[in-house]
C-alpha cells in the first residue's frame, strides 16, 4: 500500500484566508499550501492592508489591524479565477475601490458571471478594456448602500456564490441564490462555522442559499484550523494508482461531499474505494481515502454531477483512455472557460498520443485502449492538463512528455516527485 499526502485544498485556502481577514480577532491557519494560486490571494489581501504573516511550523496568522485600504497598484490575481471572483465580491461589499487583473489565461476568462449580479446589487464595476474580461475597476463608495439580491445564476458556480455571499456579508445586505445544480459549498460551511447564519436548502438537484445580511449584526469568530488535503490533487494520485496497479491511501484529505463525486465515477469504472472520515476543520470533513486498483471499464457522465467534479474531468478522461469501452462526457461546456479550453486540449493531446477521441460542444467521447501511448503533451500552461497527462505517463507502456512541467505549481508544488512514486507493476502486453 502506498501512502500519499497532498497539499492543502486550494478552494478552502482562499476562503479561509479571506474570511479570516473579516473575522473579529487573529486567526491561525495551518496547512496553507505554497501553491501559486493561494499566493495570489495572500498578496492581494496584503495589498488591501491585511496582515498575513508566517509563524513557526508553517502556521499563518491572519489579522486586520486597520481598515481595508484601497490598493496603491492594481491587484494581480495571477492565474487564479477564484482569487479574482471572490475578491470582486468582497470589494464590492466593502465599497473599496480597486483594479483587478491577472495573467493571460485569467484575462481571457468570463467575469460577467460575478460582475452582473454585483452590479444588480448596486456595485459600480467597469471593464477597463474588454467586456466580460479582466481588468475590472471597482469604484470606491460608502459601504452599506448595496441592494438585496435574489438571483438564479446561469451557471451553478461556487465562485459566483462565494462572491455574492462575501458582498452580502461585508455590505450587510440580504442575498438569496437559487442554483439549478449544487456547486461546492465551502463558503457556506466555513461561514457557518464562524457564526454566520447562512441557510442552505436542497431543492431537487439544485440548492437555495440565503444569508440575511441586513438583519444580522453579529461578527465572524476567528478561525483556528488546518486546511485539509486537496481532494482534486488526490484525484491525480488515484489515477496514477489505478493505472499502475497500486493500492493507495491518501491521508488527511478533504471529504466534503460536494467534492467527492469523481469517486462515484471511479466506482462506476469498477474500482473499490473507501473513505474514512476522522473529523472536521471549520465545518469541512477530513479523513483518509483508499483505492484498490482493478480492470477499468468505460463510464457515462452527464448533467447533475458535473459541477461537483468539474476539476476532475481531465483526469477522468485520462482514465477513460485506458478503460475498456467508449466513455462519454457531456454537460461539461464549462471546461472551455477554465485555465484553458480543457475540452479542446484534452482531445488534441489524446489524438497526438494515439488515443481515439471525439470532441463534442460540451464534452468528449474517449475510446479506451491498452496500446502504448507516446508523444508530447501541450498543456497551454494549465496545471490540471499537465497533471492529468503526468498521471497517464505513469501507466505501463506510456512515454509522455509534458511541455510545461512547472505549471503544476499553480495548485500542486511537488507533483512530479509524488507521481514518481508510482511505478507500473506490470508491463503492457
Ligand atoms: C472553485 C470553483 C470551481 C472550480 C475552481 C475552484 C472555487 O469553479 O472549477 O477550480 O474554489 O470556488 P466554478 O465556480 O466556476 O465552478
Task: Please tell me the predicted confidence (pLDDT) of residue 220.
Answer: 98
The whole-number pLDDT of residue 420 equals 93
For the stretch 255-275, pLDDT in tens is 999 999 999 999 999 999 999
What's the pLDDT score for residue 59?
96
Cell (9 digits) for 342: 480543457
Distance CA 100, CA 82 (A): 12
Question: What's the pLDDT tens digit per position in 71-128?
Answer: 999 999 999 999 999 999 999 999 999 999 999 999 999 999 999 999 999 999 999 9
In the CATH scheme, what is the code of domain 231-419? 3.65.10.10
Q: Cell for 269?
A: 469504472
Query: What is the model's pLDDT at position 122?
Result: 96
Residue 384, phi-psi category: left (phi > 0), alpha (psi -120 to 50), beta (remainder): alpha
E strand segments, 5-70? 27-30, 51-54, 60-63
**Ligand 1 nearest-atom number relative to CA 158:** 14
User: Ligand 1 centroid vs 251 CA: distance in angstroms?
Assistant: 23
Cell of 325: 469501452
- What is the DSSP secondary structure assignment for residue 251, as one 8-state letter? E
Whole-angstrom distance, CA of residue 386 vs CA of residue 381? 8
Residue 302 has a pLDDT of 87
Q: Say yes or no: do domains 9-226 and 231-419 share a fold.
A: yes
CA pair distance 93, 90, nearest whole angstrom: 5
Give the binding-site residues of ligand 1, using a 6 Å CB cut-off: 11, 82, 157-159, 162, 183-184, 307, 310-311
Nearest 5°: phi and psi at 419? -70, -25
* Ligand 1 atom with minimal separation from the 157 CA: 14
Atom 9 in ligand 1: which residue has the minimum CA distance?
A: 311
pLDDT of res. 8: 98
Amino acid 144: pLDDT: 66
Q: Domain 9-226 carries which CATH code?
A: 3.65.10.10
**Which residue has a Cα nearest atom 15 of ligand 1?**
157
DSSP codes, 174-203: EEEEEESS----HHHHHHHHTT---EEEEE
Q: What is the whole-number distance in angstroms between the Cα of residue 81 and the centre of ligand 1? A: 8
**Bridge partner residues of 26 (DSSP):** none
Give the mutation target among 183, 190, 207, 233 for probing the ligand 1 site: most ligand atoms within 8 A of CB: 183
Give the chain's residues under pLDDT 70: 143-144, 424-429
Q: Each residue of 141-170: b (16+ CB within 10 Å) or e? A: beeeebeebebebebbbbbbbbbbbbbbbb
Q: Over the chain, what is the mean pLDDT?
A: 96
Determine contact, residues 198/161, Cβ cutoff 8 Å. Answer: no
What's the DSSP call for residue 36? Answer: H
- Where are the domains positioned within the chain? 9-226, 231-419
Alpha-carbon gap, residue 343 to 299, rounded angstroms: 17
Q: Ligand 1, atom 11: nearest CA belongs to which residue?
A: 11
Which among 282, 159, 170 has a CA at the least distance from the CA of 222? 282
As a whole number of angstroms, the distance between CA 44 and CA 64 comes to: 13
The residue to mutate among 41, 85, 154, 157, having the most atoms of ligand 1 within 8 angstroms of its beta carbon, is 157
CA distance 365 to 80: 29
Choose among 82, 75, 175: nearest CA to 123.
175
- CA distances, 92 to each of 142, 159, 179, 340, 426 (Å): 10, 15, 21, 27, 56
Could you tell me the pTM of the whole model? 0.97
Ligand 1 atom with least separation from CA of 11:
11
> Is residue 56 packed enough to be buried (19+ CB in 10 Å), middle (13-18) or exposed (0-12)?
exposed
Distance 158 CA to ligand 1 centre (A): 6
Sheet holding 206-212, edge to edge: 149-151, 174-179, 206-212, 199-203
CA of 181 to the centre of ligand 1 (A): 14
pLDDT score at 403:
98
Atom number, ligand 1, closest to the C-alpha of residue 187: 12
Ligand 1 atom with least separation from CA of 311: 9
Residues serving a catalytic function are 311
Q: How far apart, in whole angstroms, are the C-alpha atoms of residue 195 and residue 280?
A: 16
pLDDT given at position 428: 45
- How many Å lie between the centroid of ligand 1 and the Cα of residue 106? 13
Amino acid at each position: 500500500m502506498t501512502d500519499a499526502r497532498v497539499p492543502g485544498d486550494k478552494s478552502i485556502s482562499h476562503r479561509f484566508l479571506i474570511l479570516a481577514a473579516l473575522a473579529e480577532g487573529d486567526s491561525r491557519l495551518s496547512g496553507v499550501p505554497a501553491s501559486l494560486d493561494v499566493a495570489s490571494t495572500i498578496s492581494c489581501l496584503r495589498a488591501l492592508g491585511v496582515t498575513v504573516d508566517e509563524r513557526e511550523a508553517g502556521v499563518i496568522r491572519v489579522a486586520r489591524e486597520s481598515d481595508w485600504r484601497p490598493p496603491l497598484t492594481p491587484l494581480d490575481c495571477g492565474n487564479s479565477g477564484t482569487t479574482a471572483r471572490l475578491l470582486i465580491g468582497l470589494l464590492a461589499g466593502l465599497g473599496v475601490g480597486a483594479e483587478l487583473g491577472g495573467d493571460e489565461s485569467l484575462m481571457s476568462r468570463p467575469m460577467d458571471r460575478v460582475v452582473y449580479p454585483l452590479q444588480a446589487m448596486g456595485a459600480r464595476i467597469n471593464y477597463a478594456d474588454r467586456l466580460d474580461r479582466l481588468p475590472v475597476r471597482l469604484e470606491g463608495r460608502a459601504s452599506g448602500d448595496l441592494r438585496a439580491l435574489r438571483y438564479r445564476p446561469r451557471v451553478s458556480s461556487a465562485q459566483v456564490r462565494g462572491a455574492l455571499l462575501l458582498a452580502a456579508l461585508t455590505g450587510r445586505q440580504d442575498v438569496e441564490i437559487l442554483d439549478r445544480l449544487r456547486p461546492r459549498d465551502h463558503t457556506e460551511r466555513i461561514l457557518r462555522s464562524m457564526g454566520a447564519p447562512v441557510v442552505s436548502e436542497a431543492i431537487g438537484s439544485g440548492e437555495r442559499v440565503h444569508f440575511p445580511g441586513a438583519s444580522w449584526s453579529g461578527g465572524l469568530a476567528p478561525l483556528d484550523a488546518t486546511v485539509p488535503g486537496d481532494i482534486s490533487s488526490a484525484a491525480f494520485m488515484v489515477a496514477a494508482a489505478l493505472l499502475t496497479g497500486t493500492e493507495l491511501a491518501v491521508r488527511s484529505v478533504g471529504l466534503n461531499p460536494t467534492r467527492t463525486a469523481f469517486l462515484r465515477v471511479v466506482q462506476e469504472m469498477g474500482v473499490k474505494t473507501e473513505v474514512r472520515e476522522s473529523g472536521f476543520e471549520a465545518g469541512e470533513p477530513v479523513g483518509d481515502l483508499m483505492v484498490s486498483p482493478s480492470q477499468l471499464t468505460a463510464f457515462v457522465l452527464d448533467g447533475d454531477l458535473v459541477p461537483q467534479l468539474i476539476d476532475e474531468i481531465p483526469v477522468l478522461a485520462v482514465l477513460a483512455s485506458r478503460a475498456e469501452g467508449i466513455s462519454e462526457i457531456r454537460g461539461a461546456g464549462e471546461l472551455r472557460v477554465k485555465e484553458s479550453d480543457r475540452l479542446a486540449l484534452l482531445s488534441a493531446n489524446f489524438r497526438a498520443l494515439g488515443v481515439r477521441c471525439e470532441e463534442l460542444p460540451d464534452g468528449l467521447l474517449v475510446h479506451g485502449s491498452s496500446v502504448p501511448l507516446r508523444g508530447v503533451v501541450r498543456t497551454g500552461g494549465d496545471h490540471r492538463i499537465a497533471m492529468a497527462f503526468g498521471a497517464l505517463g505513469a501507466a505501463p507502456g506510456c512515454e509522455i512528455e509534458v511541455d510545461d512541467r512547472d505549471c503544476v505549481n499553480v495548485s500542486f508544488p511537488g507533483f512530479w516527485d509524488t507521481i514518481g512514486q508510482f511505478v507500473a507493476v506490470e508491463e503492457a502486453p
